[in-house]
Amino acid sequence: MPNPHRQKTWSTVTSALLVMVASSNPTHAGDASEDAPNGGSWLEKAGRQAAEWNVMLGAGVRAEPKFEGAKDFTIIPLPMISAEFGQYVSVDPSGLTINAWQYDGLSVKGRLGYDFGRDSDDDKHLDGLGDIGASAVLGVDLSYELMPFEFKLSLDQNLGGSDGFSAKFGTALMVPMDPFMFSIGPSVTWADGNYMESYFGVTEKQSIRSGLREFEAEAGFKRVDLEISGLYFINEHWALRGEVGVGYLVGDAADSPVSQENLQPYSMFILGYKF
């Protein structure tokens, strides 16, 4: 099952791809739908509706550690569909986003998403640790754009599963070079005791079953990341996004016997089509 770090990156990845591709087309979907005739086949009508909602379809692949702290990697196919319903509501593979407030570079967004948790079958190293159940995730994103920089704070509360809370603060330098757009930036993630104990702690029973030493993971910073991404506008409809990053586990996440490797590289490529 997906590791929790992937769930937290999905919203950023898909939203950025949708917003940046949409901004590359100077014609507003609403204007196009007004100018288009009301008639036409059902396929033409569906196409106009998809353009009005900024629907994007895409697919790609992601390479990442099998679980957070794993030494072995897995390659995962990434189907993608996203859409915007007016100025305030959007959906993508990470869930539902509400654009609550925006003014002069500041924005506040609410999110309803999900976390698949962790399956002990993901890797032999997890044998005996048991599964971490899937859960809904309530999130809030606070961001400020001071071009060419963006500063973002993401707060996530799991409702079920680990019942954990995490906070991620990051900044990015955005460099547009038509028809390319690049960004690079660091981030740091903090997690509470519930989250840390679920993913990095080893209880007495788990120690007996798994052979790993007992370990109590406490709240604190768990990882730092550096991420580089690029977006290439092939034309007004097609765009290709690539992302390469490396994370490094710190604190109790690094000291935990669950973690095999503190260095956590990952990469992703997505090809998307905007109607």
- Specify the pLDDT at position 177: 87
Residue whose tokens read 């993508």: 92
Phi, psi of 106 (to 5 degrees): -90, 140
- Specify the pLDDT at position 4: 55
- Pick from 89, 20, 42: nearest CA to 272: 20
Residues of the chain above pLDDT 90, percent: 73
| Stretches in the chain below the pLDDT threshold 50 | 1-2, 8-16, 18-37
- Specify the pLDDT at position 6: 52
Instruction: State how many domains the chain has.
Output: 1
- Specify the pLDDT at position 110: 97
Arithmetic mean of pLDDT over the chain: 87
- Pick from 139, 79, 88: nearest CA to 115: 139
Residue 236: DSSP 8-state: S
Question: Could you please report the per-residue DSSP string of 119-151?
Answer: -GGG-GGGTTS--B--EEEEEEEEEEEETTEEE
pLDDT digits (tens, 9 = 90+) for 129-186: 999 999 999 999 999 999 999 999 999 999 999 999 999 999 999 999 888 999 999 9
pTM of the model: 0.84
Type of residue at 47: G
- Specify the pLDDT at position 93: 86
- Pick from 199, 194, 190: nearest CA to 257: 199
Q: Which helix (H) or strand (E) holds 194?
A: helix 193-200
**Structure token pair of residue 160:** 């079920």
Q: Tell me how far apart the alpha carbons of residues 145 and 173 are, in angstroms, rounded to a whole number.
A: 10
What's the CATH code of the domain at 30?
A: 2.40.160.40
Q: Tell me how far apart the alpha carbons of residues 89 and 159 are, in angstroms, rounded to a whole number.
A: 22
